């Protein structure tokens, strides 16, 4: 079984569209979301083929309430699988 694909050190700031509609075996490591319209949008996903990877690991989702832009919301997926943080 192949390990998950990894996106490392992604930084999103003041973005309107953050996320994806369909991600399979993709893991975000050290992801940082700061003052985005939504912290992350995840439409669909699945269990990882390797059985051990997480969708997000060691990340930060933050919003400065003094900044007029951004909300501290994570739109997670639904379906018959385990979504791991």
DSSP 3-state helix, strand, coil percentages of the chain (rounded to 5)? 0, 35, 65
The pLDDT tens digits along the chain (85 residues) read 788 999 999 999 999 989 998 888 999 999 999 999 988 998 888 999 999 999 999 999 999 989 989 888 888 887 778 888 8
What's the rounded Cα separation, in Å, for the pair 21 and 42? 6
Query: Model pTM?
Result: 0.86
42's tokens: 């995840």
């Amino acid at each position: 079984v192949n390990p998950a694909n990894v996106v490392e050190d992604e930084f999103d700031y003041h973005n309107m569209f953050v996320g994806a509609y369909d991600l399979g075996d993709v893991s975000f490591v050290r992801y940082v979301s700061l003052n985005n319209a939504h912290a992350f949008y995840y439409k669909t996903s699945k269990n990882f083929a390797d059985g051990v990877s997480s969708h997000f690991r060691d990340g930060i989702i933050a919003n400065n309430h003094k900044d007029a832009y951004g909300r501290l919301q994570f739109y997670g997926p639904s379906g018959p699988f385990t979504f791991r943080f």
